[in-house]
Amino acid sequence: MAVNDKAMFKILEKKMLNPTICKMVVEAPRIAKAALPGQFLIVRADEPGERIPLTISDYDRAAGTVTIVIQPIGASTRSMVDDFQAGDSFADVAGPLGNPSEFVRMSPEELKAQKVVFIAGGLGTAPVYPQAKWLHEHGVPVDVIIGARTKDLLIYEDEFKSVCDNLYMCTDDGSYGFQGVGTARLEALVAEGKSYTQAVAIGPMIMMKFSVLTCKKLGIPIWVSMNTLMVDGTGMCGACRLSVGGVTKFACVDGPEFDGYLVDFDEAMRRSAQYKAEEGLANGR
């Protein structure tokens, strides 16, 4: 297997968070030093592997580590989860890429005025963590809604408890917490009298699309983190292009976060499936 003990991107910790989602803490001192909430990195596990963009779920500057959360979708992510254990190393980890979350760039005055709600779904739950943590540390009120199909698929509940004011767990089947999707929970919260200056949705594109529709209805501005196809992640290939307010943007250098009201989700979802046929072939490799 692809164990290259000379590489510096050693996997220090590996943990399955649910039956499919895997968390890894990886040694990457340069990235750990530079990373900010909202940014992503690119992992190439081994020589035959693809360059996979993954949002940074946490970073520890002192330890020189970054945390990533992976869900097998194609052949390369499947191999990352199945074939790599703590002690092994990834061939390449590059980053941090993309722009930090809008909050990081705000002035203290702007930050003070914020009251933020995060809507997290599936794998997108993990990258919400560093943002919530950062805001919490900066004294901004933060509510987090985490949704999943069923109880066993919910992740990061314990981690979030210490970095937000209110944590709302939701399951589609009602097996844990609120029964229904995250957007329904948000509507219920607003109906109860809660108010927010900003929402942020991170998760599957379809979930972000509906989060935007709900927020539009509620009059809450919303940012979404676009997990598009990518090759290099530095602006070279254009695979990640998407329409934002009718203008073509590159998720890697212009994003990954965009004003949700302006994103053409239908196009983005269609483009994400672009290599589905070819990936079916690669899965056999």
Residues lying near other proteins in the complex (CB under 8 A) are found at 4, 6-8, 30-31, 33-34, 44, 47-51, 74-76, 79, 91-97, 231-232, 234-239, 241-243, 248, 253, 267, 270-271, 273-275, 277-279, 281-282, 285
H or E element, residue 38 = none
Least Cβ distance, residue 79 to other proteins (angstroms): 8
When the beta carbons of 23 and 44 are compared against other proteins, the nearer one is 44
The smaller minimum CB distance to other proteins, of residues 10 and 138, is found at 10
Nearer to other proteins, 85 or 283 (CB): 283
Spell out the residues 6+ positions from residue 146 whose beta carbon is closer than 8 angstroms to its own.
120, 121, 125, 154, 155, 156, 157, 160, 167, 168, 169, 170, 182
Q: Closest CB to other proteins among 52 and 116?
A: 52
Phi, psi of 127 (to 5 degrees): -70, -15
The least CB distance from residue 276 to other proteins, in Å, is 9
Q: State the minimum distance, in angstroms, from the CB of residue 63 to other proteins.
A: 16
Contacts of 193 (CB under 8 A, 6+ apart): none
The answer to whether the beta carbons of residues 244 and 224 sit under 8 Å apart is no
Q: How far is the CB of 205 from other proteins (least distance, A)?
A: 14
CB of 58 to other proteins, least distance (A): 18
Cβ closest to other proteins, residue 39 vs residue 183: 39
